[in-house]
Amino acid sequence: MNIRFYHAKILLTKADHTFEVAEGELWVRGDHICYIGDGTDTSDVCKEDDIIIWDREIDAKGNLLMPGFKNAHTHTPMTFLRSFADDLPLQEWLQQKVFPNEARLKGEDTYWLAILGIMEYLTSGITSNFDMYIMQDYHINAYVDTGFRTVFTSGLNNFTDSLEVLEENYLRINKLSDLTSYVPGFHAEYTTSRPLLEGVAKIADKYHAPVWTHNSETEREVAECKARWGMTPMQFTESLGLYEHGGGGYHCVWLEEKDIEILKKHHMSVVTNPGSNTKLASGICPVKRLLDEGINLAIGTDGPASNNCLDMFREMFLVTGLAKLRERDASCMPAEEVLYMATAGGAYAMGLPDCDCLAAGKKADLVMIDLQQPNMQPENNLVKNLVYSGSKQNVKLTMVNGKVLYEDGTFLIGTDPAEIYTKANEIIGRMKECR
Amino acid sequence: MNIRFYHAKILLTKADHTFEVAEGELWVRGDHICYIGDGTDTSDVCKEDDIIIWDREIDAKGNLLMPGFKNAHTHTPMTFLRSFADDLPLQEWLQQKVFPNEARLKGEDTYWLAILGIMEYLTSGITSNFDMYIMQDYHINAYVDTGFRTVFTSGLNNFTDSLEVLEENYLRINKLSDLTSYVPGFHAEYTTSRPLLEGVAKIADKYHAPVWTHNSETEREVAECKARWGMTPMQFTESLGLYEHGGGGYHCVWLEEKDIEILKKHHMSVVTNPGSNTKLASGICPVKRLLDEGINLAIGTDGPASNNCLDMFREMFLVTGLAKLRERDASCMPAEEVLYMATAGGAYAMGLPDCDCLAAGKKADLVMIDLQQPNMQPENNLVKNLVYSGSKQNVKLTMVNGKVLYEDGTFLIGTDPAEIYTKANEIIGRMKECR
């Protein structure tokens, strides 16, 4: 498909983590952006006998095209546990509510539950995710079938998956589709034995791959790891050689000085999950400090069982709001930095450098934001409007890899929403009967 | 207008601050709800020769009718400063950005800017607000003309308004319309002289009226008041007899033990403003403690210049999320308490006991929530869905005083949205030229 957007405002990302708004046209050819400009000099794009036949021309009516959000940490199929186990501390929530019900999950369930999550991503302008879950054989197909971009990582732990499955998935999913990729990972230090961790390090080394895990999410996790190994989770996992090819940590709320040195040494990224960290009372990630240290930052919703929604607008407000509270400084983490984290920072963390911004040659992963809504007016500063007053209500269109998957409230992913809702209710209904 | 909703889920508020979901019909007759039930026994409503002629019958298609949100603290016409002065500490923001531009505001500007705010309220399912602003002569008409319910309070301070204007407005606005009421108030202790405060106390006493103000929003405000008067703002204002007929405080982030005793003694309410308090790095209101003390709690967005959006879904998540962080307890401030604050608690704080819940005889201030969206599925617990994953995107219809003012993205308030956006941009544009 070749799609031409005209009469658009276009959000351009700058190297210094700020943005510029251009006015004009954005052209999509197949899976990528081939032109951004005012539509006059297009000689770079259309050589002499190369005329683009438009499948669709969209009048943006002055609305804003921006890079799609990257949801850099989530557990998509956990939609079935939304509003099922709230207002509990993390360990109790995990041990008493999550693990027993996950054990009742059938492989094919994860396919339908992932589609429900993908639908929610699209309503929030999210164009790719960094997904960790069990039973990946089934749920990977939800991405292929709907056309959503995903980076998978393993949730390997002492009870689920194996090193063999991890390596197999690494080889298979990286080749499966243009939309799917895979990096080695494990659930967390506190759920994964030392031999397994050493095995992950070997696989990472074999393929020169980065490694990702839940890291230092709660104070208790860090204290218990120190009691076990005399080191923080970051220090212990690094000591096993896991980050020789980079990678990063999800959450990273309770970091020590040495942990920050490790992040810098291995050029690792940190994904912050403020919605989940507030709801589970885990604490506030020191994003300001990490930013000052030059560490690449990204934002994730975490799974729908702990958040409970997959809404990057809420996460963006929380990133800046919580940083301001933590540092007691209303000027810290300005809107531009937060929007950069939610788009370019996420792309770099996920190994998707072609999805970081809107520019000719980049993948066409983008969103059209409805500015003709009261929360986007007046247009004093569009970036601040997005971060401080933006909402899912403003997402008019979400495009992944050049295809429109969501437009004006309609999902274009090949399934009937009502069927997905029915499936999700049936799955959790079946589990309730088991109790 | 008489409107019948059928095939609805209906959220019923219980005295213990929990909720129940009924299925059936809700009937609106003129400005009030006249029936809730399954549609079979309606003898209480339709006496022998009293047949209701329906102007409209709405198939709710299984969606949820709930009481409208009460935005219990805001400064509506400040929409012009949205995204104009962010990432600054409160005092600098107020002195350098807000006050100088407010001085350039013309009375009629506040009319258009208030309509922009009202539109945003409607998109968020807000059916009434507790509004404090200057130049109320103009902006009150925005409420009358659009049909939105408001409770006004004075922003009296040393530079704006007077005791005479306050009393005049009290008498005029309380009689102006079914939709408008007025309670005495002043901006804050730090902007209002002692003689003025004593004058407010006299007016409150004359009319047996409650008094409202910004109270203990920042640590600095409390410290400076203690340096001035040897007492906190709560203690000092109480010592002047301001709360003999109740009232309450907006923000109340930095409370001392004696302050809490004062709130209890005078049966006062507290309106928490978590969006504004995070964005301005003011701190976290001790809502858990206040709840345990039995103090009535409500939620406000604060003005669009400090928040920057008028979104009760974001505020609800912040109320519970910040309380969980502050108390380091994921089980504190469960969703039910938060939803109660956002609806019934707000109504009581604002002196609108007929707008607290859905029941026969209550005012028809209600919202229809679209449950056929991915963030509302599965339907494990609708109250938790609303608080933890709800969004403006789910607001299908907003009704105030029996009239539908917003439905499926369309505003039914007698003005063209594009005209309002143009006005708002013109007003701030004019100010930018002044500099």
- Which residue does chain B place closest to A92, by CA atoms? B330
Q: Which of B316, B325, B430 to mutate to test the interface with A (most CBs of A within 10 A)?
A: B325
Of B80, B310, B328, the CB nearest to A281: B328
Would you call B420 and A374 a contact, using CB atoms and an 8 Å cutoff? Answer: yes
The residue to which tokens 């990273």 are assigned: A252
DSSP structure string for A68-122: PEEEEEE-GGGGGGTTTS-S--HHHIIIIIIHHHHTT--HHHHHHHHHHHHHHHH
Complete domains list, chain A, with CATH: 2-67+365-409 (2.30.40.10), 69-352 (3.20.20.140)
- What 3-state DSSP class applies to A360? coil
Q: Are the C-beta atoms of B128 and B143 separated by less than 8 Å? A: no
Would you call B324 and A278 a contact, using CB atoms and an 8 Å cutoff? Answer: yes
What is the distance between the alpha carbons of residues A326 and A309, in angstroms, rounded to a whole number? 23
Give residue B95's pLDDT: 84
Of B82, B310, B421, the CB nearest to A380: B82
Closest CA to A366 of A53, A149, A43, A180: A149
- Cβ neighbours of B275 in A, within 8 Å: 317, 321
Tell me what the mean pLDDT of segment B280-309 comes to: 96
- What 3-state DSSP class applies to B225? helix
pLDDT in tens, B132-187: 998 788 999 999 999 999 999 999 999 888 999 999 999 999 999 999 999 999 99
What is the distance between the alpha carbons of residues A245 and A243, in angstroms, rounded to a whole number? 5
- Band (pLDDT 50/70/90 cuts) for residue B48 is low
Would you call A388 and B83 a contact, using CB atoms and an 8 Å cutoff? Answer: yes
Would you call A82 and B279 a contact, using CB atoms and an 8 Å cutoff? Answer: no
ipTM, two decimals: 0.96
**Mean pLDDT of chain B, nearest integer:** 95
- Cβ neighbours of A332 in B, within 8 Å: 87, 281
**Which of the residues in chain A have pLDDT under 50?**
none
Of B329, B330, B384, the CB nearest to A83: B384
- What 3-state DSSP class applies to B8? strand
Give the list of residues 6+ apart from residue A321 with CB closer than 8 angstroms, or none: B275, B278, B279, B318
Is the torsion defined by CA of A328, A334, A335, A341 positive or negative?
negative
What is the distance between the alpha carbons of residues B148 and B143, in angstroms, rounded to a whole number? 5
Q: Which of A377, A387, A405 to mutate to test the interface with B (most CBs of B within 10 A)?
A: A377
The residue to which tokens 């794009």 are assigned: A45
Of A123, A275, A377, the CB nearest to B393: A123
Query: Measured at the alpha carbon of residue B83, what is the angle toward residues B435 and A59, in degrees to the nearest 5?
Result: 105
- Cβ neighbours of B321 in A, within 8 Å: 275, 278-279, 318
Give residue A44's pLDDT: 73
Give residue B164's pLDDT: 96
Phi, psi of A411 (to 5 degrees): -90, 130
Q: Are the C-beta atoms of B225 and B191 separated by less than 8 Å? A: no
- Cβ neighbours of B391 in A, within 8 Å: 309, 311, 391-393
Q: Which of A83, A146, A373, A435 to mutate to test the interface with B (most CBs of B within 10 A)?
A: A83
Give residue B168's pLDDT: 96
Would you call A381 and B280 a contact, using CB atoms and an 8 Å cutoff? Answer: no
Q: Which of A61, A71, A79, A87 to mutate to test the interface with B (most CBs of B within 10 A)?
A: A87
Would you call B328 and A393 a contact, using CB atoms and an 8 Å cutoff? Answer: no
- Cβ neighbours of A116 in B, within 8 Å: 374, 377
Buried b (16+ CB within 10 A) or exposed e, B167-193: bebbeebbebbebbbbbbbbbbbbbbe
Give residue B47's pLDDT: 67
Q: Are the C-beta atoms of B28 and B2 separated by less than 8 Å? A: yes
Give residue A344's identity as a one-letter amino acid code. A
- Comparing A22 with B92, the larger pLDDT belongs to A22
- Beta strand B395-400 with B403-407 is antiparallel
Of A83, A310, A314, the CB nearest to B314: A314
Would you call B325 and A283 a contact, using CB atoms and an 8 Å cutoff? Answer: yes
Of B82, B86, B330, the CB nearest to A335: B86
Give residue A102's pLDDT: 87
